[in-house]
Amino acid sequence: MNIGYFAHETAVIDPGAKIGAGVKIWHFCHIMSGCEIGDFCNLGQNVFVATGVVLGKNVRLQNNVSIYTGVICEDDVFLGPSAVFTNVKNPRSRINRKDQFARTIVRKGATVGANATIVCGNTIGKYAFIGAGAVVTKDVPDYALIIGNPGKQVGWMSEYGHRLHFDETGVAECPESKERYQLKNNIVTKI
């Protein structure tokens, strides 16, 4: 039987998980029922994907990433080693708040660095770059570079993952792709 994806023999995939073509699921992963994993995703070892999580196409989850109910990652998202998402703002062991899971969206092409924590209820903009160890506590604009705890914006990034340096006219060029970007009213757009 051809299931269309690869899963290491130690991975646990619960019945009812939707897994796309070309997906690779490595050692000791747990994929819960009711989640959706798009085509060509790659899940490193010890990844946990909860019920209700949606991963777009070509999402890369490095080792030890945990994604909880309420998280949506659009296409081409990169999640670094041990990145984690929360899903309740004020968890307590003895109080069940499953009806209060907050939605978190990671837009197309965004990167979340190693050991970063994404507090629930926020949106990470397209092609944003969350530095290693950062703690995201609020929405992140498209192309923003966020570092620290709590996360603070310190610049802008290209779609190829290079820091953008804007000239006096508000234009920057990616050193790798040569694509150009415009900064106007604190919003970056590709031109």
C-alpha distance from residue 173 to each of 57, 108, 154, 182 (Å) = 27, 20, 18, 9
Q: Where are the domains of the chain?
A: 6-92+99-157, 159-191
CA 68 to chain centre: 12
* Yes or no: domain 6-92+99-157 corresponds to CATH 1.20.1740.10: no
Grade residue 2 by pLDDT with cuts at 50, 70 and 90.
Answer: low
Residue 190: exposure state from Cβ atoms within 10 A (0-12, 13-18, ≥19): middle
Q: Dump pLDDT digits (tens) for 124-183.
A: 999 999 999 999 999 999 999 999 999 999 999 999 999 999 999 999 999 999 999 999
Q: What pTM does this model have?
A: 0.95
Among residues 32, 24, 30, 37, the alpha carbon closest in space to that of 10 is found at 30
172 membership: H or E segment, kind and range: strand 171-173
